[in-house]
């Protein structure tokens, strides 16, 4: 039997951890596309902030309950 770890994280902690996890997954999944954008002639360094914000918007597709479930699942599989 696998040991289940309980999460006593606050909603804010879950949201923060989920956002970090989501951004890691998104940047891994879109690595080639992001590299093309980054190396484009018209890409300016101040656009990184806009790009990160755009990627973070993807977290809004997940409810707080779904985010907690994903974060807690990550704890179990560690």
Domain boundaries, the chain: 11-77
In the predicted structure, residue 69 carries a pLDDT above the cut 60: yes
In the predicted structure, residue 71 carries a pLDDT above the cut 50: yes
pLDDT of residue 1: 43
Average pLDDT, the chain: 88
pTM of the model: 0.77
Contacts by residues 58-67 (CB-CB < 8 Å, ≥ 24 positions apart): 58/22, 58/26, 59/15, 59/18, 59/19, 59/22, 62/18, 62/22, 64/11, 64/14, 64/15, 67/14, 67/15, 67/18
């Amino acid at each position: 039997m696998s040991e289940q770890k309980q999460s006593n994280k606050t909603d804010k902690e879950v949201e923060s951890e989920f956002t970090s996890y989501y951004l890691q997954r998104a940047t891994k999944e879109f690595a080639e596309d992001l590299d093309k954008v980054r190396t484009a002639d018209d890409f300016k360094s101040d656009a990184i902030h806009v790009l990160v914000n755009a990627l973070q918007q993807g977290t809004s597709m997940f409810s707080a309950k779904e985010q907690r479930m994903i974060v807690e699942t990550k704890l179990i599989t560690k």
